[in-house]
Structure 1
Amino acid sequence: MKKIIIAACLLAVSVSVFAQSGTNSPYSQFGLGLLSDQSTGFNRGMNGVGFGFHDHNQVNVKNPASYSALDSLTFIFDAAVGFQVTNFNENGIKKNAKNADFEYAVGAFRAARHVGVAFGVLPYSNVGYNYSNTANVNAFSSTQSVNPTYSNTYSGDGGAHEVFVGVGWQPVKNFSFGANAGYLWGDIDRSVVNSYSDSYVNTLSKYYKMKVKGYRLTFGAQYTLPLGKKDAVTLGVVYEPGHKTHTDPECLVVSSNSQTSVNDTALYSIKNGISLPDRFGAGLMWSHLNRLKIGFDYQLEKWGSIGMPQYQVTNNVASYSLVGGTMKDRSRFTLGGDYCRGERYRSLFSRIHYRAGLSYVPSYQTINGVDGPKEVSASVGFGIPIINTYNNRSILNITASWINRSATNLIKENTFMFTLGLTFNERWFAKFKVE
C-alpha cells in the first residue's frame, strides 16, 4: 500500500512539472493546437501503432482493453521526456528552433485475475509559436508623404493535458474490453498584435484565451484469433464519443492610438464554445512466436463537423462566434512493428526490442481558403532491458522520430525528436515465505 501511495505522489509531481508548450510550429495556432498521438514509450518506437497490441510488461494507453494482459504481482510506472529540433522553411528562408518537454507519466497494475488498472497523465495538444509580418499600408498617411508600414505579431502558447484512470477486463479467453475516463485541462493563449509606423493610425490587437476543461471517455475492445501454434492476429477497436466541453473561449479586442493614449476595448465570449469530436480507431496486430509483432492502425476524428471560434467584422459589425469549414475530418494511418528474439535469453542483444514505424496524416486544416499541411512521419526505437541485482524487468525505451509537415505555398517543417522513457517494472505484490 505504501508503494502505491509513493507512485501516486510521483504522478502528482509529474502533473505539476508538465510543460505548457512543446512546439514552435505556426500550425499550432489553429484549432486546439497540434494534437498529440497519446502514446507511451513502446508505442512511440513504432510511431504510435497500438490499437491491436497488448503486452504483459508495458502500458498501452492506445486501447484500454490491453490492460487485462498485464502481469500479476507487478506494478509498472512509465515516464518519458522529449527533445526536438525543428527546421522551418518558407520561400528559401530557413530557421531552427529547439524544444524540450516532459512527455507523459503512466502507471498500471493487475487488480484481479484478468483485470488490469492503469492511470496517468498524457498530453492532448500543444500550442507554441511567435512570428510577425510587415507590409506597406498602400495608402498615404494623412500626416506624411511616405507610405507607412504595418506589422502583425502572432504569438501563442499553452496546451491541453489529460489525467485518466482506466480498466481492462478479459471475461473469456482471447477477448477483452476496457475503458478510460479522463479529465482534460489546460490554458491556451493566442494574440495578434497590430502596429503601424505612423503613430496617428489606430491599431487593432486581438487577444484570445481559453481555459480548457472537460471529460473524455474512451472505450476499447480486442479479440485474438490464433493461427496455429506459432501465429496469432489481434483485432483492436476504440471509440470516443464527442461532446461539448465546459470551455468558454474569450476574445479581447483593443483599439488604441499612441498619440491620444485612448484605448477602446471589447470583450467577447462563447459559452461552451469548444467541442471534442467523435473518434474511431481500428487496428490489426500479427504476432509470430510472440517475437515479431507487426501492426496497422487507422484512426478517424470528426473535426469537420465542429465549428471553431473566430473574430469577424462584417458590414462594420464585429462578432465572435463558432465558424464551420475551418477544419476537416482527421485521418491517421500507421504501420509499425516490434521484434525481440526472447526475454528468456541471457544475451542482452537477444532481449532488446527493435522497433520501427511509419505514419501519414492527410491535411485536415483549412488556412486562408487552402488546404493546410499534410504530415508524414517515421520512427525507430529500442527497448533495452535493465538487468542488475535488484531488477531484471524494467526497460529503457529510446525513440528517434522524424516528422514532416508541408503544404503548397505554406511553411514547411522538419522535426527531429528524441524521446527517452523508462518503464519501471517492480514485483510489488508477492508474498515471500521465510524458512
Structure 2
Amino acid sequence: MIKNIFILISIAYCFQSTAQNSTSSPYSIFALGAQNNASFGGFNALGNTGVANTDATQINNINPANLANIFENSMLYEIGTNAVYNTIETNSLSQNTLDFNFSHIAIAFPIKKNWGMGVGLLPYSKVGYTIDIEQQAEGDSFTYNTTITGSGGLNKMYWSTGFSLLKNLSFGLETSFLFGSIQQETVVFTSPGVNINESSYYNGLTLKTGVQYTLPFSKKSKTTLGASFEFPTSLNGTQTRTTYKTINQSQYSETTEEELDIDNFELPSTLTLGFNTAINKNISTSFDFKKLWWNGSNQGNDSNSFSDQTIYGFGLEYSPKKKEYGITNHLKYRFGLNYNTGYLTISNQKIDSYQASVGLGIPFSNGSLSKLNISYSYGKEGTLSNNLIQENYHKLSVNLSLVGNWFKKRLIH
C-alpha cells in the first residue's frame, strides 16, 4: 500500500511540474478560463455521462458513490491525455490551432468490502488566448495597437470515498483542493510603450456528495439511478501586477510592482442526475442532466453576464458476448452526445456548445480487466452571430484504465 501511494505521489508531482495544459479558446478570457468537462476512462466517448454508472473496472470521477463497487484486492490506476485541433473563426477571419494536454492521473482502491477510496489530479480550467486590438488615441487622429495574451489555469486535487450500507444503495463523498494562477499580459504599442503583467492566484476547497441506487426489478437488465451535488464555494484570490514603461527611445524603463487584493471567485452549486440501464450485460445506455446555478454566484461584468448552465449527456456502449476468444470479441464500442448551454452571455447571445463522440475500449488481452480507451469527439462552441466567435474542434482522447492487485497474498509451498 505504501509503495503504491508513493508511486502515485511521485507521478502526480511530475504531472504538475511538467505538464503544460493548454487551450486556444478565446472564450477562456472569461471567468477562470475554459471549463474542463472531460471524464475518466471510457466516459469521454459516452457523452461525459457516468453519474449512474457502476462499472468497477474504471475510476468514476463524476460520482464518488461508485467507489463502493470496487473489487476487493484490486487496485485501479488511471492516466490520460488528449489532443485538440481547433478552427477558430469570425465572419471575416479563420485560424487553426493544435493543443496537447495531460487530462488526469488517479488511483482507487478498496478499504474493505463495499468501501473504496480514491485520489487524483486533473486540470480544472485552462486559459490560452491572444487578442489584438486597434484603438484610436483620445483627442488625436493616430491609432495604436494593443495585444492581450492569457495563459495558465487551475488544477484540482481530490480525495474521494464511496461505501454501501444497504443492498443496492451506495453513498459517496469527495473533497477537492483547487489551486493555480492565471497570467495576463497587456502590451500597448505606443511611444512610450507600456507592458502590464498581471498574475492572479486562486485557491479553495470544494465538497461533493453522491448516491447510486440499483433497482431490483429484472435479472436480465439492471437500471441504476445516480445523483451528485457539489456545494457552492468561494475561491480566495490575490494578484501581483507589474508595469513596465519605456520612457524614451534609449530604452530606459520604469518598473512598478504591487500586490493587490481581488474579489474572491464564487463557484456555483451543481446538481447532476442520471440513470444507466444495462441489458444482458452487453448493452448499456446512460443519460445525465447537470445544472449549475451561476445566477447565484454574482459573477460577470458590464461586457458579459453569467447565467445558469445546463448540460445534457447521452451514452451508448455495446460489448459483444464474450464466449469466443480474440480481442475483437472483447472490445467495447461507445457512442455519446453532449449539449452544453454554457454560462456566458455576450452581446445578448448565449455561448453554447455541442459534441458527438465515438470510442473503443480495448482490453490488454483475453480476460483482462485493464483497457486502453480511445475516443474521438467533434464539437462546436460559440456562434458567428453578433460578430462573435465560433470554434469547431476535433478531439482525440487516450486513457489507460489499469486494474492491478491489492494486498494479494502469496502462496508459499
In the superposition, the TM-score normalised over structure 1's length comes to: 0.86
- Would you say 1:404 and 2:380 are equivalent positions? yes
Shift of 1:430: 2.1
CA distance 1:62–1:344, shift in 2 (3 Å): farther
Which residue of structure 2 aligns with residue 103 of structure 1?
103
Matches within 5 A, 1:297-336: 297-308=288-299, 326-336=305-315
Rounded to whole Å, the distance in 2 between the matches of 1:27 and 1:82 is 20
Counterpart-to-counterpart distance in 2, 1:309 and 1:248 = 18
Please show how residues 39-50 of structure 1 align to structure 2 within 5 Å.
39-50=39-50
- Within the candidate set 158, 162, 166, 2:156 is matched to 162
For residues 352-363 of structure 1, the aligned pairs below 5 Å read 352-363=331-342
Q: Write out per-residue CA displacement over residues 399-420 of structure 1, whole angstroms, 9 at most, x where no aligned residue.
A: 1111211221211111111111
The amino acid that maps onto 2:223 is V
Q: 1:363 to 1:181 in 2, by over 3 A?
A: closer
The residue that corresponds to 1:320 in the other structure is none
SS in 1 for 2:305: coil
CA contact (8 A) 2:109 2:406 kept: no
Deviation of residue 342 (structure 1)?
4.2
**2:280 matched to which residue of 1?**
289
Say if 1:430 and 1:354 are closer, same or farther in 2 by CA, change over 3 A. same
Give the counterpart of 1:190 among 184, 194, 208: 184
**1:9–1:266 CA distance, 2 compared to 1 (3 A):** closer
How much has 1:329 moved relative to structure 2? 1.5
- Give the Cα–Cα distance (whole angstroms) in 1 for the partners of residues 105 and 99 of structure 2: 19
| 2:220 corresponds to 1:220 | no
Q: Secondary structure, in 3 states, of the residue corresponding to 1:227?
A: coil
Q: Distance in 1 between matches of 2:408 and 2:95?
A: 54
Tell me: CA distance 1:151–1:210, structure 2 relative to 1, closer, same or farther (3 Å): same
1:419 aligns with 2:397: yes
Equivalent-residue separation in structure 2 for 1:10 and 1:291 (angstroms): 37
Look up the SS of the partner of 1:4 in the other structure. helix
The aligned residue for residue 128 of structure 2 is 128
Q: Secondary structure at the match of 1:59?
A: coil
The answer on 1:393 being equivalent to 2:369 is yes
Shift of 1:346: 2.2
User: What's the offset of the Cα at 1:424?
Assistant: 1.4
Q: Hey, what's the Cα distance between the residues in 1 that align with 2:345 and 2:229?
A: 26
Once residues 246 and 89 of structure 2 are traced to their aligned partners in structure 1, the CA distance between those partners, rounded to angstroms, is 34
Alignment of 1:232-243 (within 5 A): 232-243=222-233
* Structure 1 partner of 2:142: 148
Cα offset, 1:250, TM superposition: 5.5
| One-letter amino acid of the counterpart of residue 378, structure 1 | A
TM-superposition CA deviations, 1:298-342 (whole Å, max 9, x none)? 1111222224487xxxxxxxxxxxx79621122111111221124
Equivalents in 1 of 2:136, 2:258: separation in Å? 29
Which is further off, 327-336 or 23-32?
A: 327-336
Pick aligned residue for 1:380 from 326, 340, 358: 358
1:31 aligned partner: 31
- Name the residue aligned to 1:280: 271
Separation in 1 of the partners of 2:259 and 2:13?
Answer: 36
1:177 to 165, 168, 171: 171
Q: Is the 8 A contact 1:38 1:122 kept in 2?
A: no
Q: Is the 8 A contact 2:105 2:120 kept in 1?
A: yes
Deviations 1:166-188 (A, max 9, x none): 11001111100101111111111
Amino acid of the structure 2 residue aligned with 1:241: F
Q: Which runs of 5+ in 2 are unaligned?
A: none
Q: One-letter code of the match for 1:54?
A: T
Taking the aligned partners of 1:309 and 1:360, their CA distance within structure 2 comes to 23
Q: Which moved more, 1:19-28 or 1:5-14?
A: 5-14
Whether the 8 Å contact between 2:183 and 2:198 is mirrored in structure 1 is: yes
Q: Which residue of 2 aligns with 1:61?
A: 61
Say which SS state the counterpart of residue 39 (structure 2) adopts: coil
Task: Give SS of 2:12's match.
Answer: helix
Q: Which amino acid aligns with 1:184?
A: L
Out of 279-288 and 420-429, give the one that drifted further: 420-429
Secondary structure of 1:87's counterpart equals strand
Distance 2:331 2:390 in 1: 35
Q: Deviations over 1:364-399 (max 9, x none)?
A: 2133x43252111111111100018xx822100111
Tell me the CA shift for residue 253 of structure 1: 6.6
Post-superposition offset of 1:47? 2.5
Structure 2 counterpart of 1:218, which letter?
Answer: K
SS at match of 1:326: strand
Secondary structure, counterpart of 2:144 in structure 1 = strand
Once the two structures are overlaid, the 10-residue window that deviates more, 104-113 or 7-16, is 7-16
Kept after mapping to 2: 8 A contact 1:249/1:309: no
Kindly, what percent of the aligned residue pairs are identical?
Answer: 27
How many pairs were matched up? Answer: 410
Q: Distance in 2 between matches of 1:128 and 1:289?
A: 45
Cα gap change, 1:309/1:357 in structure 2, threshold over 3 Å: closer, same or farther?
closer
Equivalent-residue separation in structure 2 for 1:324 and 1:420 (angstroms)? 37
Kept in 1: contact 2:290–2:311 (CA 8 A): yes
Provide the rounded CA distance (Å) in 1 between the counterparts of 2:345 and 2:194: 24
1:209 lines up with 2:199 in the alignment = yes
- Deviation readout 1:44-88 (Å, 9 max, x if unpaired): 121311111111111001000011111111111010111111111
325, 336, 341: which one aligns with 2:320: 341
Does the 8 Å CA contact 1:38/1:61 hold for their aligned counterparts? Answer: no
Displacement of 1:248 in angstroms is 2.5
Per the normalisation by structure 2, the TM-score is 0.91
